Structure 1
Amino acid sequence: MTIAGHMEAGGARVRRPAKSETDVVLGEDWESPQGAVDADLVRGRAKRGFISLNHSPLARKIITFNLLAMVVMVAGVLYLNPFRDSLVFQRESAIVSEAELVADVFEARMPAAAPVNLAAGDGIDVAEAMRGIELPEGATIFVFDAAGNLLADSDAVGSAPRQRVEGLGIDARSTMITDLLNRAWEWAASLLHRESDGSPQLDTRRIAEGLVTQVEKGKTVMTTSRNPAGATIFSVATGLYHNGTRVGTVAMTSAAGEIDKLVRVEREQVLQMFVVAIIVSIGLSLVLASTIANPLSDLASAAEIGRDRHSHKLAPGRIRIPDLTARPDEIGRLSGALRGMVAALYDRIDANEQFAADVSHEIKNPLASLRSAVASLHVVKRDDQRTRLLEVIDHDVKRLDRLVSDISNASRLDSELVKEEEEESFDLLKMLGNLGQYLGEQAAENGVDFITDLPAEPIRITGLEQRLAQVFVNLITNAISFCEDGDAVRVWARKRENRVLVVVEDTGPGIPEEALTKVFKRFYSQRPEGQFGDHSGLGLAISKQIVEAHGGVIWAENIRPTDADITSEPLGARFVVGLPV
């Protein structure tokens, strides 16, 4: 039993040499044999080009989803606006400090001993003091008396010119994208909300007057508002105190929109990076789409070409699936699986055609015998000859009936194996013991000794118990049929590491050497003359099919007194079934 060493529990997949598992396959970076691609598919590739979005829903989805992720991220950054919040806080802190410094300037110019009345001009000239203060560009100072009446503002009175600071300037970079988006937003907002012409115009003086009423002793009030143009204005109001008594209020407002310019510059940088990222994302998405969508389109097109040809009976030919197995990814696996499936389909078609031819050949033999016997029946006159012809007709009819039944069972076997219920675990030795009790009686009737040699410990395997029982019934009955009175049939089993071997031996005439590789073929039968026509030659073929469906192997060999002399007369035949445990 030297063949046992070559049996494995499962088949090994042969993989063609491929690229490294870490390689990145881009576009159509795969090799396909020149003759392995249908001409229609080649023409379709030429028309498609690198990537065709209008013919590839998958490519459109890849690009759309990548862009959506980028848009959501940038929209979230702009919506949360962290840089604006930081700039606003810094500007609010700065204008509060500036307003308190201006208040300190006014308080420092008030006389310590004399009374101060800002409304009457006693103790301090508000306008003169205001003209000596340097203000940031666009900022305005308002001075109110204790009653809240406006005494002076820097726009009317004027202020000291601000000294130019080298190296300090406003960022004047272009904000084209931001300005365009702002105009689009303003246009959309104008369609949804229109301001009435009579709405009050918000100006810095009104803002300052509103803050003065909120100032309490020892506190500073600050607010942020927007003018009708949408520009941000920061306003601060703080009290003027003389010897602990509040004598007035100073309010300061920033230039309108100064913080908005900085925010637009920051947003412009984000949007510029977004535009660059969009371009890069589209490019990479196109490459990714061509890597995925184009090969899948080729696989689908190849299948559709084969389907359309065979459905319309136009130029029928074999379906040629592109060979993408060099790709170290799922598409390579899909291509290999489709090619294997198509190859298995054509193998099955070829097998069916061969089976049909074999069936036709096998049926013709008994039919020819029947036709000859029936024709002879009309001309013979002797009763013994007529009886002999009727026996021939009866034998051929039984042979045809047996042949048709076996052919029907063989043709249904594939579909029945697929449709059978799920495999279950069962005790193989218990099944063999039951078969031995039943078939031992049949052997005894023929004068054949039936011997079983099974281990004491149970051997459990997973499979279809009834189908495997059919295999061993075929092997045992086949062995009994070749034995004569006084011969013996032995069934024994042994468990190895990952398999179990079940052996059926007999002391019959053995198997001719040239027939050892043919006994499992359909309709092949090597029988003694007395058994001609009693067997269809399908039993061993069916047994092999069932065993291989369970992931096992089956083979036949002769029992010889010594393996060294293959020319010695065989002592019998041996059939070995190997099944995975």
Structure 2
Amino acid sequence: MVLGEDWVAPSGAVDEDLAKGRQRRSYISLNHSPLARKIITFNLLAMLVMVAGVLYLNPFRDSLVFQRESAIVSEAELIADVFEARMPLSAPVNLAAGDGLDVAEVMRGIELPEGATIYVFDAAGNLLADSGAVGTAPRERVEGLGVDSRSTMLTDLLNSAWDWLTRLAHRDPGAAPPVDTRAMAEALVPQVAAGQTVMATRRNTSGATIFSVATGLFQNDVHVGTVAMTSAAGEIDKLVRVEREQVLQMFVVAIIVSIGLSLVLASTIANPLSDLAAAAEIGRDRHSRKMTPGRIRIPDLTARPDEIGRLSGALRGMVAALYDRIDANEQFAADVAHEIKNPLASLRSAVASLHVVKREDQRLRLLEVIDHDVRRLDRLVSDISNASRLDSDLVKEEEEPFDLLKMLANLGDHLGREAGAKGVEFITDLPADPIRITGLEARLAQVFVNLISNAISFCEEGDAVRVWARKRENRVLVVVEDTGPGIPEQALSKVFKRFYSQRPEGQFGDHSGLGLAISKQIVEAHGGVIWAENIRPTDADITSEPLGARFVVGLPV
């Protein structure tokens, strides 16, 4: 995994203005990076929603409430069993008259949890004793039993904020009357049926939870009274608060970790993107001012195995392609100027001579030179126009599947007549099965017309031109051969350059030298290759006289 800016680039490959910007920038500049702020904000929002949901749903509170309800029910039933065990087996019992059982004495011998209260009622529902008034046995301290109520200033602050939000969500406590635990107990007494235990849960004005439970007292299956028990206010809320503090502590730790990881993540995304944008902006501003524009230097982040590395590589490739195109256009413009100067110089000389010559035959000769140079300029301008539009045309036109052999056969029929008129034998050797490729049929036809026409133009009467094609796995090879003079060795590497032309003397000025350059551009735009070579009697002897020239075009199928 690549973190931060752990890529290395030579100091000379980094723009000076970009290097200064990096020095001014901290590890992560939140005030200058909207993307970094968004990453941190969204991560924190997700964390806040999760913690708020946990605190709002209170899953641990529901579990603690159920456990406390079960415990207080068990305690109330055990206390009822104590009272029933002190009753005589056969003598009648009247709790109201004190016959058979001294309720106050039994109550004083019971140990109760801190804050809990016992109420005893007779069979008619009248209160007989209250542990708050009568008293109970002192509860012995148990070592190791208790709630860890440790807290921090931060958790106290978060708890206060949560309590404030809770109070906003509930009605005003001042509007609710205080909870009377005796009234809670008396309300449960009529609901106690034979052998049934009932309980209720209420909150006091401060929001503390109070549990109350009531169960019957029986002697020989005869209902003689009721025992009710209420818990201390807020004992369950203390446990919930402890659980909430633990959640909040983990929340604080998670927030710190999330912010740290978000900063690291933001630095791995925002800083490289900022460098890429800054490099493009520096180049744009320099070129807009037209003051020592220089070349745009895109930072090299290709070592990163992620989308930013891909973006850096794509931008560097795009900028390199643009500069290559600019250099090619500049070179093309220089070549065009050079090629046009030659016929213009010839025209200027012919026109100047036309004013001074007196003989008619010399005037006619000069007029022929002027006509030849004008046609040469016209042909040159047309070819230059076609070559300059070629790139955009190749991008705009839609590629379609077509039968390459059918196209070659049609070209052979047409150009074969031209070769026959010159006394050149034209031979085609094409497979019987069609070969379908996807591309621009008209443009590829232009390539083969140029290659075949060139072959015919270099042949004399009695020579031959052969066109053949073969399919090789995922490529098709189309070869144009002739038995002409061949290509000079020093020209093999130049024939595809623009404006290069080496023709017989009789054909001087009849070609612009752009045909093979255009053909190579079209073939490479289709993902193919093209090359030229001489046909020799043996490949071992490169000094032997060539038997002709061969042009090979390879296209993907």
The residue number in structure 2 matching 1:486 is 462
1:208-253 CA distance string (max 9 Å, x none)? 1221122222100012221111111111111112222212211101
Question: Which has the higher mean CA deviation after the structures are superposed, 491-500 or 545-554?
Answer: 491-500
How much is the aligned-residue C-alpha RMSD, in angstroms?
1.6
Write out aligned runs for 1:66-215 (5 A).
66-174=43-151, 176-188=153-165, 195=172, 197=174, 199-215=176-192
Q: CA separation of 1:340/1:198 partners in 2, compared to 1, >3 Å: closer, same or farther?
A: closer
Q: Does 1:54 align with 2:31?
A: yes
The residue number in structure 2 matching 1:424 is 400
Shift of the alpha carbon at 1:386?
A: 1.6
Name the CA distance, whole Å, in 1 between partners of 2:386 and 2:49.
63
Shift of the alpha carbon at 1:264?
A: 1.3
The residue type paired with residue 466 of structure 2 is: R
Q: Percent identity?
A: 86
Q: Does 1:334 align with 2:311?
A: yes
Q: CA separation of 1:560/1:469 partners in 2, compared to 1, >3 Å: closer, same or farther?
A: same
Q: CA separation of 1:305/1:541 partners in 2, compared to 1, >3 Å: closer, same or farther?
A: same
Q: CA separation of 1:175/1:37 partners in 2, compared to 1, >3 Å: closer, same or farther?
A: closer
Shift of the alpha carbon at 1:319?
A: 0.2
Judge conservation of contact 1:33–1:323 (CA < 8 Å) in 2: no
How many residues align? The count is 557
Q: 2:497 aligned to 497, 521, 539, which one?
A: 521
1:298-345 CA distance string (max 9 Å, x none)? 111101110111122133110001111222322222212211111111
Name the CA distance, whole Å, in 1 between partners of 2:173 and 2:72.
33
Judge conservation of contact 2:173–2:205 (CA < 8 Å) in 1: no
Write out aligned runs for 1:63-462 (5 A).
63-174=40-151, 176-188=153-165, 195=172, 197=174, 199-421=176-398, 423-462=399-438
The residue type paired with residue 202 of structure 1 is: V
The residue number in structure 2 matching 1:561 is 537
Question: Which has the higher mean CA deviation after the structures are superposed, 424-433 or 168-177?
Answer: 168-177
Name the CA distance, whole Å, in 1 between partners of 2:51 and 2:174.
37
Judge conservation of contact 1:177–1:268 (CA < 8 Å) in 2: no
Q: CA separation of 1:194/1:224 partners in 2, compared to 1, >3 Å: closer, same or farther?
A: closer
Name the CA distance, whole Å, in 2 between partners of 1:367 and 1:271.
88
Q: CA separation of 1:288/1:192 partners in 2, compared to 1, >3 Å: closer, same or farther?
A: closer
The residue number in structure 2 matching 1:21 is none
Name the CA distance, whole Å, in 1 between partners of 2:156 and 2:331.
78
Name the CA distance, whole Å, in 2 between partners of 1:37 and 1:260.
62
1:439-460 CA distance string (max 9 Å, x none)? 1111111111110011112222
Name the CA distance, whole Å, in 1 between partners of 2:357 and 2:313.
65
Q: Larger relative contact order (C-alpha < 8 A, sep ≥ 6)?
A: 1
Shift of the alpha carbon at 1:170?
A: 3.1
Specify the SS of the correspondent of 1:381: coil
Q: CA separation of 1:191/1:496 partners in 2, compared to 1, >3 Å: closer, same or farther?
A: closer
Shift of the alpha carbon at 1:277?
A: 1.4
Specify the SS of the correspondent of 1:573: strand
TM-score normalised to structure 1 length: 0.93
Name the CA distance, whole Å, in 1 between partners of 2:148 and 2:547.
105
Q: CA separation of 1:347/1:198 partners in 2, compared to 1, >3 Å: closer, same or farther?
A: closer
Q: CA separation of 1:331/1:306 partners in 2, compared to 1, >3 Å: closer, same or farther?
A: same
Name the CA distance, whole Å, in 2 between partners of 1:557 and 1:148.
120
The residue number in structure 2 matching 1:538 is 514
TM-score normalised to structure 2 length: 0.97
Shift of the alpha carbon at 1:198?
A: 5.7
Unaligned runs of 5+ in 2: none
Q: 2:488 aligned to 512, 516, 520, which one?
A: 512
Name the CA distance, whole Å, in 1 between partners of 2:193 and 2:141.
36
Question: Which has the higher mean CA deviation after the structures are superposed, 149-158 or 33-42?
Answer: 149-158
Shift of the alpha carbon at 1:259?
A: 1.4
Name the CA distance, whole Å, in 2 between partners of 1:562 and 1:555.
19
The residue type paired with residue 574 of structure 1 is: R
Question: Which has the higher mean CA deviation after the structures are superposed, 199-208 or 44-53?
Answer: 199-208
The residue number in structure 2 matching 1:580 is 556
Specify the SS of the correspondent of 1:213: helix
The residue number in structure 1 matching 2:21 is 44
Question: Which has the higher mean CA deviation after the structures are superposed, 110-119 or 302-311?
Answer: 110-119
Shift of the alpha carbon at 1:429?
A: 1.0
The residue type paired with residue 512 of structure 1 is: P
Question: Which has the higher mean CA deviation after the structures are superposed, 116-125 or 364-373?
Answer: 116-125
1:333-371 CA distance string (max 9 Å, x none)? 221221111111101000000000000011111111111
Name the CA distance, whole Å, in 1 between partners of 2:459 and 2:177.
119
Name the CA distance, whole Å, in 1 between partners of 2:168 and 2:252.
28
